[in-house]
A and B are shown apart, each in its own frame.
Chain A
Amino acid sequence: MAHSSSGPPSYPQPSGLGQALRRPSYAAVAASVTPRLVTLEQSGSHGHHPAASMQARGEQQPQAVGMLARPRAGSMNMSMSMDMDGQGGQTATTARRGVWGGDRLGCPQHEDHPPFFTPSYLRQSRHAQRLRRAYDEHVAELQEHARLNPPKPPPPLSASSSNGNLHKMHASHVHQRPVVQDVLERHPPPSEEVDRSHPLPTRWSEEDKMSGLEIQSEGTEVRFGGTTKTPDEAASIRADHAMPKECGIYYFEVTILSRGKDGLVGIGFSTRKAALNRLPGWEAESWAYHGDDGFFFACSASGKAYGPRFSSNDVIGCGVNFRTNEAFFTRNGVYLGVAFNGIKSEKHQYYPSVGMKKPGEHLRINLGRTPFVFDIDHMMEQERQAIMAKIDKADVSALHPPDTEGTLIHKLIGQYLAHEGYVDTAKAFAKDVHEQQQSLFRDPQPFTPPDSEDDIHAINRQKIRRSILDGDIDRALKYTSSYYPHVLEEERNRDIYFRLKCRKFIEMMRRYTELVTATSSPATVTKSIDSLGSNGHANTGTRTAEDEDEEDDQEEDDGEEGQDTQMELDNQLHRETSRPPRDDIPTDDIDMDASQEELPPKASFMKKDDLLTSALHYGQELQVEFGGDPRQQVKKELRDLFAIIAYPNPAESPIGALLDQRGRGRIAEEVNGAILVSLGKPSSAALERLCAQTEAMLDEVAAKGGGAAALVSVRDDFLRP
């Protein structure tokens, strides 16, 4: 910490002096797994390592935001960041600095947050998507934090206190979690958990290089300015991160900007054990393609003939396929074939590396920020096709013996429909399947719908879902509290209850919006009012709405078996007897009836001003009920919610997405899940579990050896058109 007041903080910083001072950029820290990369400042920070800890713990409590504001955790970094930002703004010289440097996010760990980039061939990679999410969450968290906590003068800081913490922090850098989270978390995660935050290489490393090498152009270029004394000696450099095997294939390109006189350039990869004072390929644990003779060297001073020589203005690509464990090179977009087939991804971390010998030699690396010369996307796609073809040949007979593929699919779908309470679909599906099977036989058997004990619950859940999907939150609350009185009172469901209540506000604003648009174009008025009558209005004070529901159900069932009708009646009777009279529904705990009378009665015309007033009124109630919640997320949610009122036409406002109808589906699923759990059933159906298992297995394999599993995404490959 000796230089803390004198070191130039500006970035990029060609000399080594500033390194110890500069807080690393997000990309540089994102998961510097090896302690070697941890700089002083980083260790001196409170040790919360956003990407790593989020990935490693999978745990990020909302409180973490609050924690950042604590003096203990942030004091030193705050001071640094104030400092940096002040000077950084003045010394902004590069475009990057101008845009991202001093980004004033007040991040305690990172100096700046260069835009995250995903190389084109990794767009479908699960690993790259995961890294992107971690990055986005980190930045969003910081922005939120910055908004809530305007910069304030840092408390005085004694160097000794930070040094006192230094060692401990350093040692447990990656796996340390913020103290607050430790306290909150009841069960520590399993210790075998693997850190999977391996970030993509983003630039040349400032630390992991031979002296005499100058890094230029935001870490993309490297130039040799020194001299070599012996013929053997050279200067090598590695990228900031290893090539993650989770990518399946990793590829980068190096442009020879200048080769120097009688120069010698080697391009390849190495582990961090390989010495940097010789060319990659000659040292142990390094592999490279050399420009002077076109040879490929694998940890040896004697190479084998591989490709053409290369020189100034050539673009050399290097790729590693972690499925086949092969490395290949390209020259000016032409594939040169497999150079090496002994990649040991479980044992080694391979870093992109180059080395050079002569002064003036100058290379530029492209790690995917700009398009590649070689069509790596095509190679990646072929690789994916090959894997999909393999998957297509997979034998599913062991999944659920003795079921065949077709039977298994029928069972999975049937179970999902029943589990989720899609009662009508389940019946229709059983009927369709039956018909299909019977069409094979000469004497078809009549269809007898399966009789299930779950039907009552299924129908209850169906009603609740229907109410939410119709936007009638009051009816949904009413059903829920009469069928499952305690579900929404449970502590674990309090967020669901909160969002349900918020949804009611949203629905009120939706109605208001409808009226606003309707009155502005008279032709649609009637239609809008009609649709309100059948859909949106909470008419829960009377039996009417429900009676209609029953009639609807019965009409639909008339075409089928008499049994259905009987069951429906039974069900109705059951409800009549088991449900407490409406007036007796306890309202002390859940304040569900509070605003009922303000809702417009069915088919009566409601002036939009009245609607707005009642929405406001209800908003105040929400504030009373939930405003005391200490969690930032709840406060933010409420704030966003009330902001809707400010806009004359909320649907077209920046927060118009809140009004989206699809929000209904989400909350409906959540309520359904909560009820299932309260009934002692798993909250996810077998089909969902199958997806989760597949994803977990793919993750496991990809993390272990990279390879084929890295290129498959359950969601993108199988749950999308």
Chain B
Amino acid sequence: MGLRNVVLPHWKKGWKRYVVLKLPRKTNWQSTNTNTNLANKSDINWVIMDYLVSEGYPGAAEKFAQETNVPGPVDNESIRERVRVRNAIHGGRLAEAIELINDIDPEILDNNHLLHFHLLQLQLIEIIRTILAKPGSNPVATDFLPAIKFATEQLSPRAPTDPKYQQALERTMALMIFPPEKMTPEFKELLDEKLRQKVAVDVNRAILESRGERSEAKIRQLIKARAWAEHEVRAAKVDLPAYVPLGLDAADEVGGDDGDAMVS
């Protein structure tokens, strides 16, 4: 089997230093694909399927399995289950979400008090959000009664178990005191949709873990590794352009003859 030199394209611009990769020639005669550390298409296909399954993209996962002949998700329904939970949380329907989670496996929340607390806290926030969003003038104190009722029944019994819970509860309750226009960023972030996303991600991980599956898609580690490797290279004072493009933008290709790795 032969090897070829591949000079990474964008590193070429400086002409000061090359990074030359030893890739097996494309003329892999037999199963030489397994012989390299470098990613081939089936590796990439794997990491994409891994992402689609673990982060809940059932439609894409199904099509991808068909188009690549990669073995698809064993159980598409379990992905859809997680998607339903995610959608419920994203949509602020926390009661529904908690019910769905318990349908999947009641032990998930029993064993993960912090997660359960976060869900209940988000539920309280959603109740407050609805009250705040009511049309008309500023809400009067009595409008908040359902929120206070929920807090005292569901959240306050948990607060003493951990100072973190107590603090979080206090902050959430404060939402009812400030008029929305006078809220500090610290409180505003409680009402931000990103909190829903964060809780949804945590719940997804917890469900995966409860099934004994890896809780984070590998592609997340992969791009972190790319960032880390660049940091290490710069720390080692290897000559590198200020920005090494990923090749996502059309502009990245300008200047290169084919924009691809140069094969010599």
- A291-299, A368-376, A404-412, A580-588 - interface stretch: A404-412
Inter-chain contact B246/A697, CB cutoff 8 Å: no
B37→A130 contact, CB < 8 A: yes
A550 lies within 8 A of chain B by Cβ: no
- The answer to whether A396 touches B223 (Cβ under 8 A) is yes
Taking CB atoms and an 8 Å cut-off, the chain B residues in 169-189 that contact chain A are none
Partner of B224, one of A54, A60, A396: A396
Q: In the complex the two chains form, is A428's CB within 8 Å of B62's CB?
A: yes
For B67, what are the chain A residues with a Cβ–Cβ distance below 8 Å? Answer: 422-425, 462, 465-466
Nearest Cβ in chain B — how far from A496, in angstroms? 8
A58 interface residue, CB < 8 Å from B?
yes
Assuming the contacts A408-B223, A694-B225, asked whether A440 and B193 have C-beta atoms less than 8 A apart, the reply is yes
Q: Is A530 an interface residue (CB 8 A)?
A: no
For residue A186, which residues in chain B have a CB less than 8 angstroms away from its CB? Answer: 264
Other-chain contact of A62, B2, B26, B58 (Cβ < 8 Å) = B2
Does chain A have a CB within 8 A of B39? yes
Contacts A193-B18, A440-B196, A657-B31 given; does A428 touch B63 at CB 8 Å: yes
Give residues 122-176 of A contacting B (CB, 8 Å): 126, 129-130, 133, 136-137
Q: Contact between B87 and A439 (Cβ–Cβ < 8 Å)?
A: yes
B166 touches A (CB below 8 Å): no
With A413-B48, A670-B26: A394-B227 Cβ-Cβ less than 8 Å? yes
User: What B residues does A413 contact at CB under 8 A?
Assistant: 48, 51, 219
The answer to whether the Cβ of A569 comes within 8 Å of any Cβ in the partner chain is: no
- Of the candidate stretches A8-16, A570-578, A702-710, the one touching chain B is A702-710
Tell me whether A603 is interfacial, beta carbon within 8 Å: no
Partner of B3, one of A59, A187, A398, A705: A59
List residues 645-674 of chain A with CB under 8 A from any CB of chain B: 657-658, 661-662, 664-666, 669-670, 673
Minimum C-beta distance from B220 to chain A (A): 7
In the complex formed, the residue of A with least CB distance to B201 is A406
Q: Which of B5-13, B107-115, B138-146, B154-162 contacts A (4 or more CB under 8 A)?
A: B5-13
| B-side contacts of A633, CB under 8 Å | 27, 29
- Do the beta carbons of B60 and A432 come within 8 Å of each other? yes
Best-buried of B39, B220, B225 by chain A (most CB within 10 Å): B225
A186 to B132, CA, bound (A): 72
**Which residues of chain A have C-beta atoms less than 8 A from B152's C-beta?**
none
Taken residue by residue from 43 to 80, chain B's Cβ proximity to chain A (1 for < 8 Å, 0 otherwise) reads as: 11011101110001111101110111100000000000
Cross-chain contact A691 with B60 (CB below 8 angstroms): no
C-alpha gap A696/B38 in the complex (Å):
10
Question: Are A129 and B221 interface neighbours, CB within 8 A?
Answer: no
Q: Which of A206-214, A234-242, A681-689 contacts its partner? A: A681-689
A715 to chain B minimum Cβ distance, whole angstroms, is 5
For residue B21, CB closer than 8 A to chain A, the reply is: yes
A695 / chain B contacts, CB cutoff of 8 Å: 21, 37-39
Asked whether A392 lies within 8 Å of B224 as measured between CB atoms, the reply is yes
**B33 sits at the interface (CB 8 A):** yes
Listed residue (B22, B69, B253, B260) with the most chain A CB atoms within 10 angstroms of its CB: B22
Contact B227 A436 (CB under 8 A): no
The answer to whether A58 touches B22, judged by C-beta atoms less than 8 angstroms apart, is yes
Tell which of B98-106, B118-126, B231-239 binds the partner: B231-239
B95 at the interface (CB under 8 A from A): no
Task: Kindly identify which residue among B21, B47, B63, B197 contacts A696, using a CB–CB cutoff of 8 Å.
Answer: B21
Q: Which of A187, A429, A696, A708 has the most CB of B within 10 A?
A: A696
Assembled-state Cα–Cα distance A697/B231 (Å): 9
Find the B residue at minimum CB distance from A684. Answer: B260
A396 to B69, CA, bound (A): 32
Q: Which residue of B lies closest to A719 (CB)?
A: B43
Cβ of A448 within 8 Å of any chain B Cβ, yes or no, is no
A342 located at the interface, meaning its Cβ lies under 8 Å from any Cβ of chain B in the complex: no
The reply to whether B47 and A719 form a contact with Cβ atoms under 8 Å apart is yes
Q: Do B247 and A686 touch (CB < 8 A)?
A: yes
Provide the residues of chain B in CB contact with A686, threshold 8 Å. Answer: 246-248
Do most interface residues of chain A lie in helix, strand or loop, or is the interface mixed? Answer: helix
State in angstroms the CA–CA spacing of A130 and B37 once bound together. Answer: 8
Docked Cα-Cα span, A662 to B7, in Å, equals 29
Does A624 make an interface contact (CB < 8 A)? no
Q: Is A4 at the interface (CB under 8 A from chain B)?
A: no
> A420 interface residue, CB < 8 Å from B?
yes
Would B218 and A718 count as touching, CB distance under 8 A? yes
Complex alpha-carbon distance, A720 and B40, angstroms: 12
Task: Determine the distance from Cα of A466 to Cα of B66 in the docked complex, in whole angstroms.
Answer: 10
Determine whether B153 belongs to the interface, using a CB cutoff of 8 Å to chain A.
no
Q: Are A688 and B39 interface neighbours, CB within 8 A?
A: yes
The answer to whether A495 has its CB under 8 Å from any CB of chain B is yes
Instruction: List which B70-94 residues lie within 8 A (CB) of chain A.
Output: 83, 86-87, 90-91
CA–CA, A705 to B234, complex, Å? 13
Whether A399 pairs with B226 at a CB distance below 8 angstroms is yes
B35 on the A face (CB < 8 A): yes
Contact B27 A719 (CB under 8 A): no
Q: Residue A491 at the B interface, CB < 8 A?
A: no
Interface residues of A in 624-638 (CB under 8 A from B): 633, 636-637
| Chain B residue with the shortest CB-CB distance to A55 | B22
Whether, in the assembled complex, B254 has its beta carbon less than 8 Å from a beta carbon of chain A, the answer is no
Question: Chain A CB within 10 Å — which of B26, B28, B67 has the most?
Answer: B67
The distance from the CB of B92 to the nearest CB of chain A, in whole angstroms, is 9
In the complex, the answer to whether A412 meets B223 with C-beta atoms within 8 Å is: yes
Given contacts A661-B69, A701-B238, contact A721 B214 (CB under 8 A): yes
Q: Are B236 and A637 in contact (CB under 8 A)?
A: no
A394 and B225 form a contact (CB under 8 A): yes
- Which residue of A is nearest B90, CB measured? A439
Contact: B229 with A697, CB < 8 Å?
Answer: yes
B57 cross-chain contacts in A, Cβ below 8 A: 428-429, 432-433, 436
Contact B69 A689 (CB under 8 A): no
Which residues does chain A contribute within 8 Å of B134, judged by CB atoms? none
Instruction: Flag if B41 contacts A420 (CB, 8 Å).
Output: yes
Chain B contacts of A416 at CB under 8 A?
A: 44, 48
User: Is A229 interfacial (CB 8 A cutoff)?
Assistant: no
Q: Which residues of A contact B52 (CB under 8 A)?
A: 429
User: Given that A425-B63, A431-B59 are contacting pairs, would A394 and B260 also be in contact in the complex, using a CB cutoff of 8 Å?
Assistant: no
* Distance A136 CA – B221 CA, assembled complex (angstroms): 31
Pair B226/A665 contact, Cβ less than 8 Å: no
Tell me whether A3 is interfacial, beta carbon within 8 Å: no
Residues of the A chain whose Cβ atoms lie less than 8 Å from the Cβ of B221: 388, 391-392, 717-718
Are A666 and B28 closer than 8 Å at their CB atoms? yes
Contacts of B219 in A (CB 8 A): 409, 412-413, 718
Question: Is B261 at the interface (CB under 8 A from chain A)?
Answer: yes
CB A584 to nearest CB in B, in angstroms, measures 31
| A432: chain B residues within 8 A (beta carbon) | 56-60
Q: Is the CB of A682 within 8 A of B37?
A: no
Residues of B within 8 A of A396 (CB): 223-224, 226-227
- Does chain B have a CB within 8 A of A680? yes
Does A445 make an interface contact (CB < 8 A)? no
Q: Does A395 contact B (CB under 8 A)?
A: yes
Cβ of A469 < 8 Å from any Cβ of B? Answer: yes
When the two chains form their complex, are residues B39 and A697 in contact, meaning their CB atoms are under 8 A apart? no
Judged by a CB distance under 8 angstroms, whether A379 is at the interface is: no
Cross-chain contact B90 with A697 (CB below 8 angstroms): no
Complex interface: chain A residues within 8 A of B264 (CB): 185-187, 189
**Residue contact B232 to A715, C-beta cutoff 8 Å:** no
Instruction: Please name all residues of chain A whose beta carbon is closer than 8 Å to the beta carbon of B33 when the two chains form the complex.
Output: 666
Q: Is B260 a contact partner of A677 (Cβ separation < 8 A)?
A: yes
Across the A-B interface, the 5 shortest Cβ-Cβ residue pairs: A429-B60, A682-B260, A58-B22, A439-B90, A697-B229
26 residue pairs of the A-B complex, CB under 8 angstroms, read A55-B22, A58-B23, A60-B3, A61-B2, A126-B37, A190-B20, A193-B18, A405-B224, A412-B248, A440-B196, A465-B67, A665-B68, A680-B258, A683-B258, A686-B248, A690-B222, A691-B39, A692-B38, A693-B244, A694-B225, A697-B230, A700-B236, A701-B238, A714-B37, A718-B219, A718-B222
Given A682-B253, A692-B261, list of 14 further CB < 8 A pairs? A57-B5, A192-B17, A413-B219, A422-B68, A424-B66, A428-B57, A429-B52, A432-B56, A686-B247, A692-B21, A694-B222, A694-B229, A718-B219, A721-B214
